[in-house]
Amino acid sequence: MDFLPPAITTYSDAHTSPESELLQRLNRNTRAHIMAPRMLSGHVQGRFLSMISWMIRPRYILEIGTYTGYSALCLAEGLAEDGQLITIDQNEELEDFARSYWRQSPLDHKIDFRLGKAVDILPTLTETFDLVFIDADKRNLSTYFDQIIDKVRPGGFILADNVLWSGKVVEPVKPSDLDTLAVLAFNEKVHNDSRVENVLLPVRDGIMMLRKRN
């Protein structure tokens, strides 16, 4: 995920509004105690997610991929007063960890955790979403997009994480590298979908930002 020179990354961190004390603890303890901490959104990306949410002031947010709950807290910061964030993850072992931090936040009542496979849960959702954040397994990126595009309001936004996939998207790809192939397919798919406008942002591991056309 380290695409920029370390000095630039350090400078960017230093000139980004700090995490809350709760997010700092969640960040630190995820890295200290949970496997695959690279999956955590972290400081700069977390502040980016919060900023986007504040800009939109969504009533309904959908997050696909919860991990330890850091990004859910960031996204929930900008929710409308009566807003709700639905977050989906199939890793039941991390549910208590995430909830323990949500309970320390005044946003806890706005976060609705759904345990299970996203491909099974998404068809059951009846809400119309203002903002969607996809940060789950890469092989189902295109499937998740297909499942949620009709559940996003016209003018609503979709964010997909890890679309640069540690730089592998611009390197030769082996036929056995199914994750990279899935990311490449997703990037091409949404870039050529007339229902959305898109910009690929080189933030951390790459975020594809999509706006559903009116």
Does residue 86 carry a pLDDT above 90? yes
Does residue 171 carry a pLDDT above 80? yes
Does residue 188 carry a pLDDT above 70? yes
Write down the pLDDT at residue 39: 87
Encoded tokens for 119: 């491909």
Encoded tokens for 63: 């997050």
Does residue 211 carry a pLDDT above 70? yes
Task: Using a cut of 0.85, tell me whether the model's pTM lies above it.
Answer: yes
Write down the pLDDT at residue 1: 66
Q: How confident is the model over 25-76, as pLDDT tens digits?
A: 999 999 999 988 888 999 999 999 999 999 999 999 999 999 999 999 999 9
Write down the pLDDT at residue 195: 98
Domains with residue ranges and CATH for the chain: 6-152 (3.40.50.150)
Q: Are 102 and 69 in contact (CB under 8 A)?
A: yes
What residue type is 164 in one-letter code?
Answer: L
Does residue 3 carry a pLDDT above 90? no
Mean pLDDT on 206-214: 96
Write down the pLDDT at residue 38: 82
CA distance 27 to 163: 22
Does residue 113 carry a pLDDT above 90? yes
| Half-sphere exposure for 94 (CA within 13 Å, toward CB) | 26
User: Nearest CA to 198 among 190, 96, 206?
Assistant: 190
Mean pLDDT on 176-199: 97
Mean pLDDT on 128-142: 97
Q: Are 194 and 144 in contact (CB under 8 A)?
A: no
Does residue 117 carry a pLDDT above 80? yes
Lowest mean pLDDT across 3-7, 33-37, 57-61, 115-119: 3-7
CA distance 66 to 87: 6
Q: How confident is the model over 17-31, as pLDDT tens digits?
A: 999 999 999 999 999
Does residue 4 carry a pLDDT above 80? no
Write down the pLDDT at residue 100: 97
